[in-house]
Amino acid sequence: LRFDEQVRVVVFKSQVKGVFCAGADLKERAKMDDAEVGEFVRRLRNLMDEIAALPVPTIAAIDGYALGGGLELALACDLRVAASSAKMGLIETTRGLLPGAGGTQRLPRCVGVGLAKELIFTGRQIDGEQAASMGLVNHSVPQNSEGDAAYQRALTLAKEILPQAPFAVKMGKLAINKGMEVDIASGMAIEGMCYAQNIPTKDRQEGMAAFREKRPPQFTGK
């Protein structure tokens, strides 16, 4: 996906009705020794980092349970859409654990430190509407009879992104992600570098031409 230039948006959804991702298999985990658990979690954290580093926008379609590592997967995505009935939570402390695949870092960056601490300390599960009210998900939608309402809304969101200039969108994502890691002055410099990369693109010229000619732009990602 990272190297396929035809890919403009990635939507993560589950094939299992009622469950986005239920997290690690604790029965499997119980058979591991301490060293194996450490390696397993390290690989899981690396996977989430790989997802977060995808250059194109990513959307998690949460149509059911997203617990523990399942919510960490959703947090590694850029955008999240949830069914109002979906259940989400970093429940690790209820199992004698703590989030180990990015949850302690991505949740506070998403909802703020105070709320993140409350959710992680309590292991509380919240529904889609509660998640939307605290900014954990971008949209909460009523579940449909097929059980894929969040996926359908995620597709609608993806279709809003698709017509936009692909390289500009990628640079926007990079500027936001890198800028969030530094002070605002450094972030402005990062934005400037990303903008400079976009200036010589054919898509920028196309955007300007389409505006002058009062027609929809035809972006190619070049």
Residues forming the active site: 24, 69, 72, 92
| Distance separating alpha carbons of residues 104 and 31, to the nearest angstrom | 25
Cα 124 to chain center, whole Å?
Answer: 21
